[in-house]
Every structure is written in structure tokens, then in C-alpha cells.
């Protein structure tokens, strides 16, 4: 094993390298759980002029499936009585002390035998029929022996016992890689396997003067069942997609039984040919658009990566884009104890990018995401079933010692305001702080990108007292705007939060106040936070020993109310004036609009009045006509008809006059409405209250 890459999602990438001679086979042992991942990811490259002819492994059928193939109807957990019962009819020899018999097994039964008093005992009894036809019965006791007298049945029992014995070592799966070729050649084997998640932990040493020292460690567990001797170890803080699939377990499915019809005839059939093929090494392969490389580039041996490129090169067959490293001259590293870290995207599929020139291959490259890798500069050795704490980082960083207070917390916390000046991404994990040559506290940290600042709290600050009080102001209208017939009132809800900090200690404090962010609320004065997060704004406050300091943060919440001018009336305008929501200029504009609105409303009232008169006259005319119909054939018909006719003429003249008045009023109403519309569109003012 030459190379190991461990990922945060619980998988590891393993790379073996060695030499084979001729058609030599290579064996690698795995467990069943490992083999499932290996079958999904195994990549085998012959770096010489040979080729891989196949990969085999010992397949394990489910035990009940293999037992079903025996002629003995026995299960996995069978008893002596069940085992003998399965051999009914077989020829056996039975001995019990001085008594013995030979014959064919008849049955195995349980019987109750009387004891002293009313007690009974249950025993197993085996019955057989001798060659002379005699039935003999024997109790199955520790002194009873039964021997199978048939060779074929003895062999079947032997197969059963072999299957049961194989269950003890069924988790050992040997994978055999077969090769073909001449001479000695380099062979590269890679695969993934389930491994424990590696963990990050940090130490921050805070000196009395100068920058703090950040030291990073990784906890690595070797549980794959093989020693890691002098391997190149990389730790990737990323989670490529991976899953478990039981590929090494044989599966069976039920197939339908379809009877053949009588006189069924199967007609020979032809199949379409492949459009294009090439012949390579006597085999048909699909042509590739990528020609084999003419020569190997620098850092590549035998057509595949060999060796480790230090910057932006190829490491064990995986292309890398190196980020800034930590080494001598970077962040205060110290010689051989410094481990370089490269932040890069890892593409495992590029293992297939450089096969030998005799085999055409199509290689696909893809990014696996924004991963970063800790690659240890020195090789490591970790024995199987052992764990190790390996260093991954040592650098000086910018950090400020502060106290942090958040209203959601019970205590003021001591913290380091760290600026990641190490040039690399710090993986999430735990950290310890050493201050004044002693343990000061510990905490947890999320991943920190280069140049990113982060507060790392590690202890309670018992020397500070913080009190927060809130003052509220009455909501008031601050601005009135009228545009296109809409009046908008802009008001503000103001609040002031005062933080009072008392320093009871003998040393000064820099306190970071985390003021909660509320939706819709904005800062009201010129004070600006040091930084803002999704949930809080951070403000700095210096407090001298034995002193008290305050921080006042004013905020306002803007509110907007809209009114349509056409819906206003005198009462609303009077209310606005009483609440000081409008001034005289706005009142004058509203009064003009209201006067024009009232003029339109007055014309509407006159029009409706005249329409009402016309309706009343029409109803009276209908009554007169009904009366005239009723007078036909009467003595008074002539006089009354003349009278009603005269009345109808007068009503018609009156209705005609009313219609002319309505027409004139509608014209005036249209002019008044036009004037109102123009007034509404023309009024544009903005006033502060």
C-alpha cells in the first residue's frame, strides 16, 4: 500500500503499487463489507506492455441456499434428533453398551418413561429395522453411538459439515487479479473502502507577546485490516457522494414458468452489426476519438502518473490544483515538523486518463466540488486496528483576545477573534486554548476559509457584568407625499437599546456586543457595526478595569400607510389635523380636492333627482293609461279621455324638460370629473411633519 486518502463522509481511497512478472496473479484479502465497495470502485492498471485478464473472488451464496442444494433436508441450526430424522431409511449401526444392531433407520421419536412416584422423563428414541425384519429401539443417551453405513450419505454429511465450518471464516474474501504479459511490469491498484471519519483538533497557544500559534492535528483510525507502512497520507475535508451496495452477495429472483406450446419451432434470427469497430490485441473495441499519448509527460512513468508533483502536478494518479501551502517560511513553520497543506479539487476519475499506449481509452474528468486536502509531507506508518494523531498544520495567525456577549447567552464569554492568515482552509473540529502556560478552555470551530474572521469562544468571563435596557418612542408620522391621487404617510417606530458593561477585573476588556438583527429594523444613527452576520450586528466596546461603559444603539422601523384621495372626507381631514399627521400645505391641497369631489357629488345628486322625477311621472302615466282602458263603453268616457289626454301631454312636456336638464347636468358632471381627475394627477407635493 502506497497511498491513502481519507474523506469526511466515511470512505477512504487506497492505492497499491508493485511489480508482477509474466502472468503472475496478485491476491488481496478483504472483508465482505470492504468487498462491496471494492467491486464498485476497483481500478487496475498494468503500467507495462501487459494487460489485465480478469478479477475473481470467492463468492459466498447465502447459507440456506447452499444447504438447499444438499440431499439432506437439514437446516443451519439442527439438533441431533433432527439430523437423524433427516436420514430416515438410511443404513446405520447403533451401539448402546453391549447391545448393538444394524439396519435401516425407521424413526426418531420422543417418549415419556415413568420414574419413581408420579415423575416422568422424556427421552429421544431411535428405531431401526434389521435385515431380518426385527424392529429395535435404542434410547439416545451419551453412551449411544450411531454410525452411517452408506458411503454416499457419508460424503453428503461431509459436505454439510464443510459448509457449516465455512461460516466461521465467511468474512474473508480473497480478490485475485490475473495478468498476462512478459517480463516484469509495474501494477497499480486503487479502490475505495469504508473507514472511520477522520477528525480535526487544534491547539491555540496565546503568548504574552506576538501572534498566537495555531497547531492542527488529525485523528486517523486504521480499521481496514492491513498495516499502513510508510504510506503517503492525505486527508480531504469533503464528502464525495458514496453509498453501500451489496454487490458481493449473490441475488436470486423468481422467474415465471412459461410452458412451450406444442410443435414450437424456433426460427433463426439475425442481429444488426456494430457500425464501427477497431481490432486491438485480437479483440473488437469501439474506436476512440482520443489518440494514445506519443510520449509520457514529465512526472509520468510508463504512461501513468508516477511520483508526486509538488505544485499543481499529479499525485498518485489524481490531478490536483494546489493552493497555498504551509512550510518553511510560511506562517512560522519549523523544519521537518511542518506539514504542507494544499487546498484543491480532487478528481478521482482521472486515474483512467493515462493507460498504456497499446490500449485505446476514453477518459472522463469531472470536478467533485470545492474540496480541500491536507497532504502530509512525510510518510506515516499506522498498524492495523490502531489509531494515530498526526500533525497537519503549524502556523502563526492573527488573533485578538476579546469578550463576547449575546442576549441569548447566560454568561459573557472569553473568545479569540481569529483571522485565518494561515493561507489554508481550516477544517471544522475542536480546539484548545493554552494561555499563560496553562489550559484556558476549549470549544468547537466550523470550517474557516483563508482570510475569514471568526469568533472562537472557549471560557466564561466572570469579570464582566452586562445589563441591557430598551427604550421605546411613540410612533409618529415623519413625511407625507401625494402622488397621482395617492397620499402616503411615512412613519417610524423608534427604539433605543442601551448596553451597560461593568468591568470588575484588574485588566482592561474589549467587549464585542452582539446586537440581534430584527427584520425591517435599521440603524438610526451614524454608529456602524464592526461586522454583521445573519443574526446579529457586532459592536466593539472598550472597558477599563473597575470602570463602567455604555453602548447605545438606536434603531427605527419604517411604516407606510396609503390613502386614496377620492375616499377622503371632512372627518378624516379633521382627524389628520388633530393627530398632526398633515400640515397646512397638505390640508389646503386636500381641501381643494375635497371641494371638487363634493361638486361632482352634488351634480350626481341632481342627476339622480331628475331621474327620480322621470321615473315617478312614468309610473303616473302608466296609471292614467290603465284608467283610460277601463273607461271604454262608459258614459263618462269622452270627458275623462280628454282630461287624461291633456294630463299626459303636460307630463310628456315635463319629462322632455327633465331629460334636457339631465343632459346638461351630465355635461357639467363630466367637466367637473375631468377637473377632479386633472387635479388628482396634478397634485404632487412632499412635506416633512
- Using the Cα atoms of residue 36, residue 39, residue 41 and residue 45 in order, give the sign of their dihedral: positive
Taking the C-alpha atoms of residue 164 and residue 157, their distance in angstroms, rounded to an integer, is 11
Distance from chain centroid for Cα 627: 90
Please state the rounded mean pLDDT for residues 81-89.
Answer: 77
Q: What is the pLDDT of residues 362-399, one digit of tens each?
A: 222 223 345 678 888 888 999 988 898 888 888 899 99
Instruction: Give the range with max mean pLDDT: 31-35, 298-302, 521-525.
Output: 521-525
Strand pairing category for 3-7 and 11-21? antiparallel
Closest CA to 453 of 413, 426, 414: 426
| Position 544 pLDDT exceeds 90 | yes
Give the pLDDT confidence score for residue 305 in this predicted structure. 33
- The length of the chain in residues reads 689
Q: What is the pLDDT of residues 449-466, one digit of tens each?
A: 888 899 999 999 999 999
Give the pLDDT confidence score for residue 587 in this predicted structure. 81
Taking the C-alpha atoms of residue 310 and residue 324, their distance in angstroms, rounded to an integer, is 12
| Position 250 pLDDT exceeds 50 | yes
Give the pLDDT confidence score for residue 294 in this predicted structure. 36
DSSP string, 322-375: ------TTSTT--GGG----B----BGGGGGG---TTS----------S--EEE
Rg (CA), the chain: 49
Average predicted confidence (pLDDT) for the chain: 75
| Position 92 pLDDT exceeds 60 | yes
Closest CA to 305 of 363, 341, 372, 350: 350
144-149's contacts with Cβ under 8 Å and 24+ in sequence apart are 144/94, 144/95, 144/96, 145/94, 145/95, 145/96, 146/84, 146/92, 146/93, 146/94, 147/92, 147/93, 147/94, 147/95, 148/87, 148/90, 148/91, 148/92, 149/90, 149/91, 149/92, 149/93, 149/102
| Position 474 pLDDT exceeds 80 | no
Q: What is the pLDDT of residues 324-338, one digit of tens each?
A: 333 333 333 333 333
The pTM of the whole model exceeds 0.85? no
Give the pLDDT confidence score for residue 493 in this predicted structure. 82
Higher pLDDT, 128 or 266: 128
Distance from chain centroid for Cα 34: 25
Higher pLDDT, 284 or 210: 210
Taking the C-alpha atoms of residue 247 and residue 187, their distance in angstroms, rounded to an integer, is 25
Please state the rounded mean pLDDT for residues 587-613.
Answer: 88
- Structure confidence at residue 323 as a pLDDT band (50, 70, 90): very low
Hey, what domains does the chain have and what are their CATH numbers? 77-93+104-114+121-162 (no CATH), 198-245+277-459 (no CATH), 466-563 (no CATH), 570-688 (1.10.287)
Higher pLDDT, 23 or 686: 23
Q: What angle do CA 372, 375, 378 make, to 5 degrees?
A: 170
Give the pLDDT confidence score for residue 249 in this predicted structure. 59
Determine the 3-state secondary structure of 421 from DSSP: coil
- Spell out the residues 6+ positions from residue 22 whose beta carbon is closer than 8 angstroms to its own: 181, 182, 183
Element (H, E) at 649: helix 637-682
- Spell out the residues 6+ positions from residue 150 whose beta carbon is closer than 8 angstroms to its own: 90, 91
Return the DSSP state at 169. G
| Position 223 pLDDT exceeds 80 | yes
Q: What is the pLDDT of residues 270-281, one digit of tens each?
A: 333 334 434 344
**Looking at 119-123, 483-487, 608-612, which range is the least confident one?**
119-123
- Structure confidence at residue 651 as a pLDDT band (50, 70, 90): confident
- Using the Cα atoms of residue 589, residue 590, residue 595 and residue 599 in order, give the sign of their dihedral: positive
| Position 10 pLDDT exceeds 90 | no
Q: What is the pLDDT of residues 162-184, one digit of tens each?
A: 766 655 555 567 788 898 988 89
Taking the C-alpha atoms of residue 144 and residue 97, their distance in angstroms, rounded to an integer, is 7
CA distances to 22, 52, 317 from 180, in Å: 6, 6, 23
Higher pLDDT, 174 or 549: 549
Determine the 3-state secondary structure of 545 from DSSP: coil
Please state the rounded mean pLDDT for residues 426-437.
Answer: 88
Amino acid at each position: 500500500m502506497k497511498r491513502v486518502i481519507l474523506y469526511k463522509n466515511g470512505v477512504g481511497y487506497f492505492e497499491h503499487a508493485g511489480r508482477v512478472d509474466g502472468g503472475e496473479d496478485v491476491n488481496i484479502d478483504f472483508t465482505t463489507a470492504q468487498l462491496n465497495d471494492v467491486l464498485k470502485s476497483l481500478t487496475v492498471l498494468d503500467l507495462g506492455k501487459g494487460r489485465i485478464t480478469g478479477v475473481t473472488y470467492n463468492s459466498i451464496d447465502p447459507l440456506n441456499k447452499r444447504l438447499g442444494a444438499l440431499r439432506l433436508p437439514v437446516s443451519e441450526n439442527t439438533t441431533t434428533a433432527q439430523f437423524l430424522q433427516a436420514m430416515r431409511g438410511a443404513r446405520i449401526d447403533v451401539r448402546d453398551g453391549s447391545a448393538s444392531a444394524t439396519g435401516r433407520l425407521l424413526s426418531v421419536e420422543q417418549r415419556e418413561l415413568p420414574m419413581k412416584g408420579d415423575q416422568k422423563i422424556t427421552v429421544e428414541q431411535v428405531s431401526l429395522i434389521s435385515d431380518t425384519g426385527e424392529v429395535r429401539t435404542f434410547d439416545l443417551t451419551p453412551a449411544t453411538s450411531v454410525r452411517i453405513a452408506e458411503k454416499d450419505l457419508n460424503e453428503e454429511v461431509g459436505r454439510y459439515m464443510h459448509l457449516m465450518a465455512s461460516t466461521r471464516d465467511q468474512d474473508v474474501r480473497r480478490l485475485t487479479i490475473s495478468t498476462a504479459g512478459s517480463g516484469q511490469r509495474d501494477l497499480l491498484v486503487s479502490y475505495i473502502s469504508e473507514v472511520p471519519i477522520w477528525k480535526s483538533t487544534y491547539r491555540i497557544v496565546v503568548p504574552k507577546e506576538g501572534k498566537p500559534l495555531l497547531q492542527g492535528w488529525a485523528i486517523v483510525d486504521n480499521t481496514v485490516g492491513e498495516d499502513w507502512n510508510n504510506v503517503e497520507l492525505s486527508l480531504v475535508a469533503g464528502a464525495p457522494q458514496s453509498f453501500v451496495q451489496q454487490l458481493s452477495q449473490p441475488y436470486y429472483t423468481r422467474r415465471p414458468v412459461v410452458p412451450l406450446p406444442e410443435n414450437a419451432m424456433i426460427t433463426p434470427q439475425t442481429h444488426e452489426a456494430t457500425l464501427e469497430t477497431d481490432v486491438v490485441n485480437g479483440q473488437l473495441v469501439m474506436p476512440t476519438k482520443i489518440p494514445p499519448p506519443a510520449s509520457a509527460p514529465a512526472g509520468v512513468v510508463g504512461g501513468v502518473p508516477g511520483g508526486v508533483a509538488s505544485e499543481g502536478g499529479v499525485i498518485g494518479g489524481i490531478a490536483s490544483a494546489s493552493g497555498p501551502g504551509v512550510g518553511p517560511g510560511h506562517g512560522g513553520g519549523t523544519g521537518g515538523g511542518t506539514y504542507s497543506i494544499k487546498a484543491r479539487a480532487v478528481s478521482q476519475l482521472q486515474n483512467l486518463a493515462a493507460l498504456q499506449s497499446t490500449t485505446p481509452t476514453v477518459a472522463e474528468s469531472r470536478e467533485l466540488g470545492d474540496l480541500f486536502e491536507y497532504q502530509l509531507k512525510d510518510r506515516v506508518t499506522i498498524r492495523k486496528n490502531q489509531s494515530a494523531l498526526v500533525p497537519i498544520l503549524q502556523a502563526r495567525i492573527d488573533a485578538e483576545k476579546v469578550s463576547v456577549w449575546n442576549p441569548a447567552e447566560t454568561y459573557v464569554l472569553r473568545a479569540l477573534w481569529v483571522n485565518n492568515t494561515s493561507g489554508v482552509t481550516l477544517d471544522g473540529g475542536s480546539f484548545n486554548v493554552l494561555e499563560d502556560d496553562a489550559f484556558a478552555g476549549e470549544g468547537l470551530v466550523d470550517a474557516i476559509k483563508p482570510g475569514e474572521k471568526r469568533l472562537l469562544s472557549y471560557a466564561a468571563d466572570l469579570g464582566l457584568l452586562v445589563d441591557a435596557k430598551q427604550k421605546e418612542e411613540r410612533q409618529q408620522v415623519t413625511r407625507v407625499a401625494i402622488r397621482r391621487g395617492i397620499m402616503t404617510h411615512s412613519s417610524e417606530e423608534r427604539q433605543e437599546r442601551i448596553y451597560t458593561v461593568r468591568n470588575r477585573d484588574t485588566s482592561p476588556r474589549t467587549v464585542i456586543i452582539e446586537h440581534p438583527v430584527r427584520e425591517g429594523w435599521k440603524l438610526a444613527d451614524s454608529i456602524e457595526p464592526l461586522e454583521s452576520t445573519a443574526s446579529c450586528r457586532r459592536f466593539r466596546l472598550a472597558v477599563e478595569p473597575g470602570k463602567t461603559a455604555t453602548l447605545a444603539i438606536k434603531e427605527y422601523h419604517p411604516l407606510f400607510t396609503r390613502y386614496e384621495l377620492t375616499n377622503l372626507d371632512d372627518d378624516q381631514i379633521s382627524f389628520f389635523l388633530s393627530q398632526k399627521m398633515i400640515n397646512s400645505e397638505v390640508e389646503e391641497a386636500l381641501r381643494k380636492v375635497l371641494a371638487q369631489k363634493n361638486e361632482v357629488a352634488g351634480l350626481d345628486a341632481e342627476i339622480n333627482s331628475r331621474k327620480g322625477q322621470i321615473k315617478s311621472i312614468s309610473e303616473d302615466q302608466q296609471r292614467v293609461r290603465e284608467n283610460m282602458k277601463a273607461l271604454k263603453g262608459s258614459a263618462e268616457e269622452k270627458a275623462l279621455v280628454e282630461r287624461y289626454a291633456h294630463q299626459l301631454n303636460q307630463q310628456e312636456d315635463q319629462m322632455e324638460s327633465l331629460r334636457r336638464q339631465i343632459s346638461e347636468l351630465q355635461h357639467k358632471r363630466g367637466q367637473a370629473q375631468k377637473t377632479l381627475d386633472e387635479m388628482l394627477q396634478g397634485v404632487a407635493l412632499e412635506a416633512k411633519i
